[in-house]
Amino acid sequence: MCDGDDEDVDSVEVDFVEVTAVLEEDDGLQFQLPKHHRCACHLLNLVSTVDAAKACSNEAYKKLSRLSPVEIAFLEEYARTMSPLAKALNILQAEIDVQMGWLLPTLTLLISKLDRIRITSRYCKLLVDAIQEGLQQRFGNMLVEPEFIAAAILVPKFKTSWTTDEHIVKLGLDYIKDHLEEETSNQTPVDGSSASEEEDFFASMKSTHGQEGIKQLDGYLACKADNKEILKSFPAVCKLSLKVNTALPASAACERLFSTAGLIFSPRRARMNSKNFENQLLLKLNKKYCHFS
């Protein structure tokens, strides 16, 4: 087998094809290589090409890149299309200054940006449509949920400026007004005594507390300041804001916690006790607060 087969192998002629000239030749009208060749040649250059775009001018970038003008135009448009989505994900997955009230303003602005991108899009219209469809399927019900709308309105940064839909604003304000009345009407007397059945029966005639809550809401909405400190000036509004804005809109923080825990509790540390593991996890996640001399 050895001698005969070696002769057959040696006698096989291999044709080498030089593709450098084909890659450099480009009229911008079509791709010069079939898909499997194009993928093999361009995937290795994709990361370096994107990095080169940041460091080089457009003309220098085109000379250095092996991508055709059509491919470059597609990548640039793809980056512009995905940029708002990436920024929205970073906002919603943050761990600081993000409450449930950030969800709808972020989604609403993202949808608005994608609508504008689609108008001028040449290659990525189907991608924009797919993202829009996914957002509607996942968050469509939340976009009209009164509690989530109220949570957004009760974040001083947004109030009612994040949407131009009057129906959406009305849903949120109605929810706030109803719950402000509940919060104020359920307050116990200052001396701690409970109201009698007779007083409770005629409580609806006394709308003083409800009107006070509405006044605070009107004052909050009219205030031009957008920092959290203004909530202290409106106790009823502040209390309701804390109630509807406690939960985070994403589980990214928990996922990062489990990821960090997995890195610490490696096979070589299998004998680590729970107390030591917990301490190391806390130190790892809070290292910016730790100062060691």
Looking at every residue in the chain, the average pLDDT score rounds to 76
Q: What is the pTM of this model?
A: 0.64
Domain boundaries, the chain: 23-67, 146-187+206-244, 252-287
Question: What's the pLDDT band for 171 if we cut at 50, 70, 90?
Answer: very high
Question: What's the pLDDT band for 92 if we cut at 50, 70, 90?
Answer: confident
**Which is more confident, 15 or 41?**
15
CA distance 161 to 164: 7
Give the closest residue to 261 by CA, choosing from 245, 275, 243, 280.
280
Tell me the per-residue pLDDT of 2-33, one tens digit each, with 9 for 90 and over. 455 555 545 545 555 565 555 455 544 444 44
Give the closest residue to 101 by CA, choosing from 142, 155, 140, 144.
155
